[in-house]
């Protein structure tokens, strides 16, 4: 069975739990306690030299980095719409995976980390980057139904968690109307699950 080195409150782990659930794949969640520095133990570093969660193990394969894990699961287990073959569409998905790994991670996730977990960092800088990124994504979602085009893809799942958790970064998303619509679309996906801190729009 697939194993996921996981933490309940991690947005990066949640995006993997969400996709596994959508794909109806059974998995074992192995909790990693960051407060106890379990992710810096030698045994954990032998799985991921970066010392970060999530890590996914599928038989003998070890995959780390949430974007890479989404790519792996899409290629191995999902319908092609989640990670298209066509060059133009694939490039679009990859662009937004980069936004998830860079701007959303440094901006919204960074601000949430400072406020919720007491991590070091400059809150104002993170929130400024967060707002800039939300504007880019809202513009994109005014032009098309999903982040990377007319179809849902792993780019949506990669970007969703930290945007949906924006309240915990003290960034308000109410004025981003296309993002609000997109929240409802994601929540309507068969197999959708939430995580603590995400207020669902459909309730």
Ligand X SMILES: N[C@@H](CCC(=O)N[C@@H](CS)C(=O)NCC(=O)O)C(=O)O
CB of 52 to ligand X, least distance (A): 3
Member of 4, 5, 6, 12 binding ligand X (CB under 6 A): 12
CB of 86 to ligand X, least distance (A): 25
Q: Is residue 153 within the footprint of ligand X (CB under 6 A)?
A: no
Residues from 51 through 80 that contact ligand X (CB under 6 A): 51-54, 65-67
CB of 16 to ligand X, least distance (A): 9
Member of 10, 89, 140, 173 binding ligand X (CB under 6 A): 10
Measured between alpha carbons, how far apart are the two ends of the chain, in Å? 34
Listed as own residue / partner, the contacts of 120-129 with beta carbons closer than 8 Å and 24 or more positions apart are 126/169, 127/169, 127/170, 127/171, 129/103
Pairing of β 55-58 and β 2-6: antiparallel
CB of 37 to ligand X, least distance (A): 8
Residue 53 burial (C-beta neighbours within 10 Å; 0-12, 13-18, 19+): buried
Angle subtended by helix axes 154-164 and 66-77, to nearest 10: 140
Q: Which residues bind ligand X (CB under 6 A)?
A: 10, 12, 34, 39, 51-54, 65-67, 101
């Amino acid at each position: 069975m697939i194993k996921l080195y996981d933490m309940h409150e991690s947005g990066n782990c949640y995006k993997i739990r969400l996709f596994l659930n959508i794909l109806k794949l059974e998995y074992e969640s192995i909790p990693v306690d960051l407060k106890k520095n379990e992710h810096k133990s030698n045994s954990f570093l032998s799985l991921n030299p970066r010392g970060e969660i999530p890590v996914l193990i599928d038989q003998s394969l070890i995959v780390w980095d949430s974007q890479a894990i989404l790519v792996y699961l899409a290629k191995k287990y999902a319908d092609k719409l989640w990670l298209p073959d066509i060059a133009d569409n694939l490039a679009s998905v990859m662009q937004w995976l980069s936004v998830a790994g860079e701007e959303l991670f440094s901006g919204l996730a960074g601000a949430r980390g400072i406020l919720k977990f007491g991590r070091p960092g400059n809150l104002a800088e993170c929130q400024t980057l967060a707002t800039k990124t939300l504007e880019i994504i809202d513009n994109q979602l005014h032009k098309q139904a999903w982040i990377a085009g007319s179809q849902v893809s792993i780019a949506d799942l990669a970007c969703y968690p930290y945007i949906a958790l924006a309240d915990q970064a003290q960034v308000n998303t109410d004025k981003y109307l296309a993002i609000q619509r997109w929240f409802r679309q994601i929540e309507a996906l068969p197999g959708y699950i939430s995580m603590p801190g995400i207020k669902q729009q459909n309730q």
